[in-house]
Amino acid sequence: MVSEFEMSISYAFLSIFDAGMEYAFNDWTEQHTAQGFSWRPGSVSFRTMNDWGGRSVINVLDDEKVAVDPDAQRAIVVPFLIGPAGTFTVATIASTRKLPLPSGNYALLFETGFGEKGEGDDETPMWFKLTFVPSVTQVEPEILVADPELSPKYPLLMTAEPA
């Protein structure tokens, strides 16, 4: 495991981008919303299943293969490049977390679902896994698990404008 932390989700998205990128957040079109992510080189934003500021646990992992958690209610894989600085950022509008990972090409697996409500919790917490799998071949974007809110059209849209 690279890291585990909590973030508050706002505007129904979680972004991962090169730590040195200027204008790192992506704009969204209807097609991006339908497929659950907005991607451009160095930056990807994933749509979350809830738009609220409650606690969300984020696990950032590195692994040898793409393997979907059986509890995932949404899973998407996209290509991702970690630049020469060996750092990337996980962010929402309200907070950011900069993390190290060796530079190179990766398959980035985004997974999310809802956890168990704890005693005194008003909301059911969301969880996220971001798994970076080193890749020497071209990574094809794919929706691996689609919940009812997704309605992707293939080929998936792999261009976005900075927000």
One pLDDT digit (tens) per residue for the chain, 163 residues: 689 999 988 788 999 999 989 999 999 999 999 999 999 999 999 999 887 656 789 999 999 999 999 999 999 999 999 999 999 999 998 899 999 999 999 999 999 998 776 555 556 788 999 999 999 999 999 999 999 999 999 999 999 999 9
pTM across the whole model: 0.93
| CA–CA distance, 75 with 63 (Å, rounded to integer) | 16
Please count the other Cβ atoms lying within 10 Å of the Cβ belonging to residue 39: 23
- φ, ψ of residue 78 in degrees (nearest 5): -140, 160
Question: Which H/E stretch holds residue 126?
Answer: strand 126-134
Amino acid 54: pLDDT? 65
* Surface-to-core class of residue 122, CB atoms within 10 Å of its CB (0-12 exposed, 13-18 middle, 19+ buried): exposed
Q: Is residue 78 part of a domain?
A: yes
Amino acid 81: pLDDT? 96
Q: Is residue 163 part of a domain?
A: no
Amino acid 115: pLDDT? 76
* Surface-to-core class of residue 155, CB atoms within 10 Å of its CB (0-12 exposed, 13-18 middle, 19+ buried): exposed
Instruction: Name the residue range of residue 26's domain.
Output: 3-145
**Structural domain count, the chain:** 1
Place of tokens 């090169």: 18
Amino acid 114: pLDDT? 86
Q: Is residue 160 part of a domain?
A: no
Amino acid 126: pLDDT? 86
Amino acid 125: pLDDT? 80
Angle 101-107-108 from CA coordinates, rounded to 5°: 70
Amino acid 73: pLDDT? 96
Q: Is residue 50 part of a domain?
A: yes
Amino acid 120: pLDDT? 52
Amino acid 90: pLDDT? 97
Look up the CATH number of the domain holding residue 53: 2.60.34.30
